[in-house]
Amino acid sequence: MSEEKIIRMDMGAVESDTHSNRPVLCLGIESSCDETSAAIVDSDRNILAHIIYSQIPEHQKFGGVVPELAARAHILAIEDVVKQTLNNAGKTIDDIDVIAATAGPGLIGGVLVGWMAATGIAQSTKKPLVAVNHLEGHALVPRLCATMADGTNGNVSVEFPYLLMLASGGHCQILLVGGVGQYEMIGQTLDDSAGEAYDKVAKMLGLGYPGGPVVDKRAQSGNPRAFAFPRPLCDKPGCDFSFSGIKTAARTFLSRMDTTLTDEYINDFCASFQSAVVDCIINRLNNAMKDERVRTANPKTLVVAGGVAKNSAIRAAMEKLAQKNKMIFAAPPMNLCTDNGAMIAWAGLENFAIGNVVHKPVAPRPRWPLTEL
Ligand code: KG4
Ligand code: ZN
């Protein structure tokens, strides 16, 4: 964490324990996709311990996440991940004030594992439990710590309201974030998410899973003008996305290639694809800034979050757009972009601070839009 020069913002959004005047400690659990993760985060924005057990190697040979394998891997890992997190923080469960876990959306087998573990811990210890929406974890984590586009400390503090580009493997949305649990949908994808497009294009090129990191890296050595990928919807008003046309174009370009792909071809392909994705994101965000709801709320910060927020070109282009519009740009540090327990613990703390705890058993939800919070 320290090498990423993370800043901790002192905004006092999450109150300290008023009786003892010590920070509130939250154990957060994430298990909605292919990471089993737990973290202990306090209300002073310290991450005391954080373990991310990635199942990626188990899914790689199938070219994507296999839900049944993921659920079983979560079952095998969850107990050790939670115990080790407590150990690393030098805490026992008695020291923890709040338990939080992802209760959706996500692959239901995995969500069930983490959510039932958290419910069991909370019931047996009689501690408050927060059902965290995974997307809200991504959305709020820039308030735990934020960096500039290149990952360096820029004295960024993310206060409500902010304009959020939420781009992950499963979602692609522009949201106006008014507060904890307050999300207004400004635009969203009509088909694939940006992460899905990266993963599918990488698969076509034989670059393995997950596709985002390797396409991002290859793109840095390629020519973004080598292939004329379309920019779907960019000639239309509004803030929605469509990535299926870009994916079809990728398939068409590749079908014309009858020899083995060279490194140069792959790099140019990745650079051209990425340039189309970046253009679409910037075009839609530009429109979002002119949206009546956004203008009225007048957010000071433009934020990117979700796994795709790791992308160097997207971060750089969004930072430029923010500067042009006299906004501050903020992104989570790289290790808090993809799925992680710290974002769930932080969202747990923010919800706990407003009394949003579970009072009766709650069923996890495979689908759970942020606008239904
Ligand atoms: O947020 P996340 O960990 O999981 C979901 O909630 O879906 O996002 C995973 C997604 C994958 O599609 C992965 O390819 C993408 O994030 N990703 C990236 C990069 N790193 C991860 N996409 C573009 N550029 C990257 N550097
Ligand atoms: Zn996620």
User: The dihedral of CA 215, 151, 317, 264: what is its sign?
Assistant: negative
> What pLDDT shows up at residue 19?
60
The residue with tokens 């969203």 is 188
What is the distance between the alpha carbons of residues 268 and 279, in angstroms, rounded to a whole number?
16
Distance (Å) from CA 2 to ligand 1 centroid: 22
**Nearest atom (ligand 1) to Cα of 198:** 14
Ligand 1 atom with the shortest distance to the CA of 210: 14
Ligand 1 pocket, mutate which of 141, 168, 196, 216 (most atoms under 8 A from CB): 168
The proportion of the chain whose per-residue pLDDT surpasses 70, expressed as a percent, equals: 94
pLDDT band at 6 (very low <50, low <70, confident <90, very high): very low
Q: How far apart are CA 312 and CA 185, in angstroms?
A: 25
Cα–Cα distance measured from residue 98 to residue 40, given in angstroms and rounded to the nearest whole number: 10
pLDDT in tens, 281-321: 999 999 999 999 999 999 999 999 999 999 999 999 999 99
Of 3-7, 36-40, 65-69, 208-212, the least confident:
3-7
> Which pLDDT belongs to residue 350?
98
Reported as a single tens digit per residue, the pLDDT across 113-170 is 999 999 999 999 999 999 999 999 999 999 999 999 998 886 788 999 999 999 999 9
Give the mutation target among 198, 247, 335 for probing the ligand 1 site: most ligand atoms within 8 A of CB.
198
Span from the CA of 21 to the centroid of ligand 1 (angstroms): 38
**Cα(311)–Cα(289) distance, integer angstroms:** 22
| Residue to probe by mutation, ligand 1, list 189, 217, 308, most atoms within 8 Å of CB | 308
State the pLDDT at residue 56. 87
Cα 212 to averaged position of ligand 1 atoms, centre (Å): 6
For 84-122, how does the pLDDT look when each residue is reduced to its tens digit (9 = 90+)? Answer: 999 999 999 999 999 999 999 999 999 999 999 999 999
pLDDT over 80 (residue 177):
yes
Query: What is the position in ligand 1's atom list of the atom closest to the CA of 32?
Result: 6
For position 4, what pLDDT does the model report? 29
DSSP state, 108?
H
| Residue 327 tokens, joined | 């906004």
pTM for this entry: 0.94
pLDDT of residue 16: 52
> Residue whose CA is closest, atom 16 of ligand 1?
307
